[in-house]
Amino acid sequence: MRRLLPTLLLVLAAFAVPAAADDDVSGLYAVAGKSPAGKGYGGAVKIVPYGNAHAVLWKLDDGEAYKGLALRKDDVLGATYGRDKVPGLVVYHIAGGTLEGDWISGGGKSAKEEIGRETLQGSPDLEGEYQITLGENQDGTTNYTGKVVMKRDGDTYVLVWMVPKPAYVGRGVRVGNVLVVAFGQDLKKIPGVVAYHVAGQTLDGVWALGPSSKIGRETLTLRPPQ
């Protein structure tokens, strides 16, 4: 994967939500969630198109704010989140021991480039070493090879990309046949990840804070236009 670029999303402070197609997830949502410790929270989430991805901004009632990028695969919207830097994101469709993924780097112009592609081949148990049988960079013309080491960690998964040396680390959560992974280059700091099941105007999500294997849950409900 190509070098991660600096942060983005300053534009989210004052954007207007455009009219969305029926299958688009763009809009302003009310959020209600629970942390892994069971503490409830509320707030608002904005989702807008950003190149080939979506930009996401969480503003919680307690003053906490997060930003991230999202990709949709089937009926799952996968997203990264962070306070400062925006992590990279890969969303895989699981078919036995084959994982077919789309990915984007975090931040900057890279997020608006073409979607990168990655296919992994290994155990259907989502555990062990996976060969990268397809690694296509976002420029659409260059490729990469290597392997990914995956390990189950509580209700989440930890992934390390060896291309060929350890280069990226990520944490993933699974919803149905989709695995959503947030990744970064700091091997000592795993980024946060969230995966939503899209059901009309409601998004039901599970999330993990990078360092923890425990999951929280949140539901986004689309607010009507003002």
pTM here is 0.88
Where would I find the beta strands (DSSP E) of 35-74? 40-50, 53-60, 65-73
Q: Does residue 1 fall inside a structural domain?
A: no
Q: Which residue range is the domain that position 114 belongs to?
A: 10-222
**Residue 3 located in a structural domain:** no
| pLDDT of res. 110 | 62
d(CA 31, CA 22): 20
Q: Cβ contacts of residue 116 below 8 Å, gap of 6+?
A: 1, 2, 102, 103, 104, 105, 136, 137, 138
78 domain residue, yes or no: yes
Question: Is the bond leading into 6 cis (omega within 30 degrees of zero)?
Answer: no
Give the CATH number of the domain where residue 123 resides: 2.40.128.120
Residue 4 lies inside a defined structural domain of this protein: no
C-alpha dihedral sign at 44, 87, 123, 178? positive
> Which tens digits make up the pLDDT trace of 28-67?
999 999 999 999 999 999 999 998 899 999 999 999 999 9
pLDDT digits (tens, 9 = 90+) for 146-189: 999 999 999 999 999 999 889 999 999 999 999 999 999 887 88
**Cβ(67)–Cβ(57) below 8 Å:** yes
